[in-house]
């Protein structure tokens, strides 16, 4: 699992865990203003409720929320995985107005701590340290704060309590190097008028595949076809109505080299010098060298599939 999806996994699973276990736990604890209103319990993930106007919460109490407050990451020595430490706040909002405000505060604190205990108990992925979520700690074991939720509206019996948890996750190290000539001149990040896809082929500009600008495309061929060919030819002319002389660069990842040309003719990669293997990555860049000096750039990312 990549780091880009780990946090989504944490929050999606937290919602499922709370839906599955929290109400049963609250029912056994008899929290005033909470356990007798379990049917109205609102669960939310990804939002700090203190950022919402208090009046929108009147009919949605009690309520528990989970939201990230900070994160840290460490890569292992081999560079194969990353351990990410997420700090989350678990807030509980309760309203209990049958006694004084202190009882409402205790209910909010109890609700928050109970919700945190459910995550500590059930959120970890099966498989121990090998899972994406491999440890969950309550790092503020009671409540870091208890306060009136919305003093401006005099809702003095509506209290919010906050507990802090740390979630330890492990993500795959995302490392797929690409090659680009260090002398490339960046173009202007502006829109362009795409007329057609570029084409490629063996010993000619067609037959292998097409590719759309600013997209990843897989070109597929066979070992036998490559063995019988001399070049891979790329025809840039269909892509844009750019003037003759506009520069084309093909960056070959595995060979760490650049093949240069222009849109005036096919750009050829000589197979005897630069072989193509399964999994090879090319990045093709075309820059408009028109008289207006726009330097508009289009890029094609190519993955090769050779069978």
The two structure tokens encoding residue 221: 């061929």
Mean pLDDT of 50-66: 71
Arithmetic mean of pLDDT, 179-189: 65
The answer to whether residue 192 is domain-embedded is: no
Helix axes 3-17, 101-122, angle to 10 degrees: 120
Q: What is the CATH number of the domain that holds 239?
A: 2.60.40
pLDDT attached to residue 277 = 96
Statement to judge: residues 63 and 143 lie in one domain: yes
The reply to whether 202 and 299 lie within a common domain is: yes
pLDDT at 66 > cutoff 70: yes
The mean pLDDT value for 94-114 works out to: 82
Q: Is the pLDDT confidence value at 197 over 70?
A: yes
Which one, of 141, 169, 144, 145, lies nearest residue 71 by Cα?
Answer: 169
Whether residue 240 sits in one domain with residue 164: no
What pLDDT sits at residue 101? Answer: 67
Same domain, 140 and 237: no
Answer yes or no: do 165 and 253 share one domain.
no
* 108-117, 191-200, 295-304: least confidently modelled range: 191-200
265 HSE (CA, 13 A, CB side): 4
With respect to residue 184, please indicate whether it lies within any of the assigned structural domains.
no
Residues 56 and 102 reside in one and the same domain = yes
Give the residue-averaged pLDDT of 70-93.
84
Domain residues for the domain of 249 are 198-306
Question: Does residue 26 sit in the same domain as residue 113?
Answer: yes
Residue 236: predicted pLDDT: 86
CATH number at residue 116: 3.30.2000
Residue 177 has pLDDT above 60, yes or no: yes
- Is the model's pLDDT at 78 over the cut of 70? no
Q: How confident is the model at residue 140 (pLDDT cuts 50, 70, 90)?
A: confident
Domain count, the chain: 2
The answer as to whether 271 is a domain residue is yes
- What is the per-residue pLDDT across 7-37, written as a single tens digit (0 to 9) for each? 899 999 999 999 999 999 999 888 888 888 8
Residues 241, 195 contacting (CB under 8 angstroms): yes
pLDDT of amino acid 116: 95
- Say yes or no: 12 and 151 in one domain: yes
* pLDDT score, position 29: 87
> Does residue 275 share a domain with residue 128?
no
Range in 18-27, 102-111, 178-187 with the lowest mean pLDDT: 178-187
Same domain, 75 and 154: yes
| pLDDT over 90 percentage in the chain | 43
Please give the pLDDT value at position 157. Answer: 73
Is pLDDT at 272 greater than 90 in this prediction? yes
Min mean pLDDT across 48-52, 185-189, 239-243 is at 185-189
Give the model's confidence band at 170: pLDDT under 50 very low, under 70 low, under 90 confident, else very high.
confident
For residue 153, the model assigns a pLDDT of: 54
Kindly tell me if the per-residue pLDDT of 121 is higher than 90.
Answer: yes
pLDDT at position 151 is 46
> What DSSP line would sit under the chain, residue for residue?
-BHHHHHHHHHHHHHHHIIIIIHHHHHHHT-TTTGGGGGG-EEEES--GGGS-GGGGTTS-SEEEEEEEEEEEEE-TTSSEEEEEEEEEEEEEEE--SS-HHHHHHHHHHHHHHHHHHHHHH-SPTTGGGSSEEEEEEEEEEEEEEEES-GGGT-TTEEEEEEEEEEEEEEE---------TTPPP-B---------EEEEESSSSSSEEE-TTEEEEEEE-HHHHHT-SEEEEE-TTT--PPTT-EEEEEETTTTEEEEEETTS-EEEETTTS---TT-EEEEEEE---TT---BEEEEEEEEEE-
In a domain, 188, yes or no: no
Q: Is residue 181 part of a domain?
A: no
How many Å apart are CA 57 and CA 159, to the nearest integer?
Answer: 12
pLDDT band with cut points at 50, 70 and 90 for residue 286: confident
Residue 140 falls inside a structural domain:
yes
Q: Say if residue 226 is in the same domain as residue 166.
A: no
Q: Has residue 256 been placed in a domain?
A: yes
Note the pLDDT of residue 32. 83
Residue 165 lies in a domain: yes
Answer with the one of 138, 172, 206 that is the final residue of a domain: 172
Q: For the residues 29-54, what does the mean pLDDT come to?
A: 81
Q: Does residue 214 share a domain with residue 74?
A: no
């Amino acid at each position: 699992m990549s780091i880009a999806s780990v946090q989504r996994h944490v929050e999606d699973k937290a919602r499922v865990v709370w839906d599955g276990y929290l109400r049963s736990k609250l029912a056994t604890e008899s929290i005033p203003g909470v356990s007798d209103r379990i049917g109205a319990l609102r669960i939310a993930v990804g939002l700090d409720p203190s950022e919402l106007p208090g009046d929108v919460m009147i009919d949605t109490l009690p309520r528990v929320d989970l939201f990230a407050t900070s994160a840290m990451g460490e890569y292992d020595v081999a560079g194969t995985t990353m351990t990410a430490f997420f700090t989350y706040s678990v807030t509980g909002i309760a309203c209990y107005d049958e006694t004084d405000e202190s009882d409402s505060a205790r209910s909010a604190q109890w609700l928050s701590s109970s919700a945190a205990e459910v995550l500590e108990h059930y959120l970890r992925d099966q498989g121990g340290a090998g899972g994406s979520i491999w440890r969950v700690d309550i790092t503020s074991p009671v409540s870091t704060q208890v306060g009136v939720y919305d003093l401006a509206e005099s809702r003095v019996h509506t209290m919010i309590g906050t507990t802090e948890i740390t979630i330890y996750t492990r993500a795959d190290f995302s490392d797929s190097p690409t090659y680009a000539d260090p002398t490339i001149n960046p173009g202007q990040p502006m829109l362009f008028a795409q007329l057609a896809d570029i084409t490629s082929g063996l010993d000619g500009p067609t037959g292998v595949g097409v590719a759309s600008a600013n997209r990843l495309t897989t070109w597929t061929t066979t070992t036998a076809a490559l063995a019988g060919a001399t070049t891979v030819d790329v025809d840039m002319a269909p892509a844009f109505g750019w003037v003759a002389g506009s520069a084309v660069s093909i960056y070959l990842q595995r060979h760490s080299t650049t093949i240069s040309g222009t849109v005036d003719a096919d750009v050829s990669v000589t197979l005897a010098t630069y072989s193509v293997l399964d999994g090879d990555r090319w990045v093709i860049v075309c820059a408009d060298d028109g008289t207006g000096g726009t330097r508009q750039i289009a890029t094609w990312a190519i993955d090769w599939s050779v069978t």
